[in-house]
Each structure stands twice: as structure tokens, then as C-alpha cells.
Amino acid sequence: MESALNDVPFAKRLRLLFWNFFKIALFVVGGGYAIILAAEEIFVRKLRWLKDGELLEMLTVIQAIPGLTAGNAAIYVGYRTAGQWGALVALVAVALPSYLIICLVSVGFGVIPMENLYVQGAFIGVRTALSALTIVAIVRLWPKVITGKYSLAAALFTIEAVYFYGTNPAIMLGAGIAVGLICGIRTQLRQSRAALAGKAESGMAELLTLFLLFCWFGLLCFGGGSALMPLYIQELVDARHWLTLHELSDFAAISQVTPGPIGVNLATFLGFRRGGYFGALICTIGLLLPSYILMQIALRSLARWEQSPIVRGIMAGIGPVTVGLMAATTLIYLELSLFTSQLPWGYLAELATGHLKAYEGPFRLCYGSVPVFLLSGWALYKSKCSIMTAIFCSAALGAILCRI
């Protein structure tokens, strides 16, 4: 690797970093993991700037730093190949396509005839596919994250606290980090006792609020953009009323099928909605800034960071909470697609206790969404169907089935 890099002038390294990450973000749809695989193909197999399998081996470190997986991966590759300037150039390149494309999409979003029954059905189909996508992600994460009764209890408690009681997801993430940190410190203490001896909602004020909010989101994001959805719902829908839940879910659907990291797409979309091009820019920068700073710190002591019991403890604590947040988001998606209103938990609880009576509330099953849900879930879990293909097919099926 060193010899291959030594043959490339520094300025050319920066140009190649920018161009390749710009192309990856422009043409790769599906989020951080797809971008990592594309970067592995270019920087390992084609350019031979990194060792074979190095990016995948560093996945634990990349996920352990707050921020989006795609952004952290770009920072890692840039830092390893061209130092601090390389990290900055790679991060800008991976975010730039999202900013440009989402701003263009946002300009035309207002002309979409949302009252049209076929358009409504298409968005219901997409939300249904998002429900299936999140469930598939949970199923795949479950054996890696839920490893015992304590992690299972943490995931279930997170679902109950966020979905049923509206607890701020940041509190749950903070609690997960704190518990994991304590466990990691205890492990560190046992391993090395001797070594331990010696954070006007208008005009510039609103833009500043947006920037600080997205810095906060970036600090609490571990892994992909899906983990941010409960935070967006809590802060942007419930607390500030800047968006409705339907608008947020529609934005999430569009972010899934546009090039670039999903988290960056969504941040750019939300920023444009509140502050135009400049709002989109500061939201994107705010989301990526914490991971840029923390990745720089971590990469200076990579070996110690990767093997640190404290880092492993944090990841063990945050994993079940993340799964719980994803599950809570899935329930919200289901209530916007497969069902016609919020699940009647009180009625279901009465049935469970033997109080049999007819249901008279607004809850109904949207029968047209059922085949969309089953087909998209099967395609994403069992086959090699891409996320973009599943989303587009679900939109087409939804337009046909969900409003007839």
C-alpha cells in the first residue's frame, strides 16, 4: 500500500479522493454500507491505496464514532491516504452530491400533487416498504446486538419509552452510552488497574438553531441515517412543529431513492425546507462536523481506540438502544402505511385480559398495503434486490393498490 501511495503526488491524491468519493455518492444508492463496499472496490482493489479488507475490518471503529457510516468511512480513507486534508476533501466529496441533488428535488417538491389519490397511494406504498426495510435491518442486527437478557431488556425498554411515552430519544441514547461506558470502564479497570492509579425561531436565530440541532443529531448518530428518525420525529415534528409526521416520512422516502448517504439527504432536505440553500448547507455541515472532529481524534490513536474496552462497552450499550429506536420508528411507519391510524393498544390490552367486546374506533387495516409490505420485505430479506428497486416498485404497487 505504501509503495502505491508513494508513487502518487499529494495533489493528485486529493483530486482522486474527491473525484472517486463524489462518483460513489452520486451513483451509489442505499446508504453507508453500500458506499463502504464501493470505496473498498476503488481504493483497495483498483488503486491499491488500502490493504485488502481494511475498510471492513475498521467497521467497528467507523461505527463507534458518532456520525453517519458513509461520512466516517470517507474520513477514514481520506486520513489514511492524505492526512487531514484528505479527510476533509473526502468528507466534502461524499456529501456534495446529496446537497446538490436534494436542493434540486426540494425546489420541485412543492409542485407534486399530494392530493391526487394515485400520488397518495404511491407514498403509502413507499412508507410500507420503509417499514419492511427497517424490520429487515432489525432482523439482521438482532443477533449481533441482542446478545443476552440485559441487551434485550434495554431494547424493549427503549421501544416502550419512545413509542408509548414519547421519551426524547436523546435521553435513551445518552443512557445507553452511559451504561455502556460504565461497563467498559469496569472492564478497563479489571484489565489495567496499575495504569488507572497514577452540549426567536426566525431568521439567523432559526438557522443557528438548525445548525446546533444537527450538530446534536450528528453527535448522537451511531451507524446509518435510520437511527436518526426518532430524533427527527421528537425534535422537528413533536417539539418544534416544523414538519408533520407525513411530511417527514415522505422526505425519508425520497431520501432513500436519491444518490448519497440517506442521513445527509434527509438533513439537506430538512434544512432546505426551513432555510433554503443556506439552511440545507448548514444542516449538512452540522450533521457531519462532529464525526469529522471525533474521527480525527480517534485515528491518531487507532490501535488503542479499536481495542479499547471502553469503546467496546459504549458500542455494547448503544446497540440495543439503537435497535429499540429502529423498532419504534417501524411502528410509526406502520401506522402511516399498513394501518389507518395509531394501533389501539388499550383495546388490545382489554382483549388480553379477557374483556371481549366489539372494536368501534378508527383503526383499520389498509388491505392494499399488505401485499406491498410482504413483497418488499421478502425482496429485501431473501433476494439481492436493491433498496432503490424495492422503493420504486412499492411506489408503483401503492399507486395501484392502496387507493382503490
**By mean pLDDT, which of 74-78, 79-83, 238-242, 310-314 is the weakest?**
310-314
pLDDT for res 188? 59
Query: 71 vs 23, 133, 206, 271, 288, CA distance in Å?
Result: 14, 22, 25, 18, 7
Evaluate the CA torsion angle 63, 284, 126, 249 in order and state its sign: positive
Evaluate the CA torsion angle 332, 336, 337, 338 in order and state its sign: positive
Decide: residue 29, CB within 10 A, 0-12 exposed, 13-18 middle, 19+ buried: buried
User: Per-residue pLDDT tens for 384-404?
Assistant: 676 667 777 887 888 888 755
Confidence of residue 110 (pLDDT cuts 50, 70, 90): low
- For residues 273 and 321, the model is more confident at 273
pLDDT for res 16? 93
Domain segments of the chain as ranges: 2-99, 110-401
- Other Cβ atoms less than 10 A from the Cβ of 266: the count is 27
Confidence of residue 151 (pLDDT cuts 50, 70, 90): confident
The three-point CA angle 322-136-251 to 5° equals 75
Which residues, other chains included, contact 394 with Cβ-Cβ below 8 Å and sequence gap of 6+? 125, 126, 128, 129, 372, 375, 376
Mean pLDDT for 168-174 is 71
Confidence of residue 89 (pLDDT cuts 50, 70, 90): very high
* Partners of 222 in the β-ladder: 67
Can you say how many angstroms the Cα of residue 284 is from the centroid of all Cα atoms in its chain?
Answer: 14
Task: Decide if pLDDT at 17 tops 90.
Answer: yes
Q: Which three cell numbers mark 8?
A: 502518487
Mean pLDDT for 361-375 is 82
- How many whole angstroms separate alpha carbon 15 and alpha carbon 242? 39
pLDDT for res 196? 35
Whether the pTM exceeds 0.75: the reply is no
pLDDT for res 200? 40
- With a pLDDT cut of 90, the percent of the chain lying above it is 6
Listed residue (93, 111, 104) closest to 27, CA to CA:
93
Task: Decide if pLDDT at 375 tops 90.
Answer: no
Task: Decide if pLDDT at 341 tops 80.
Answer: no
Task: Decide if pLDDT at 288 tops 50.
Answer: yes
pLDDT for res 199? 35
Can you say how many angstroms the Cα of residue 132 is from the centroid of all Cα atoms in its chain?
Answer: 15
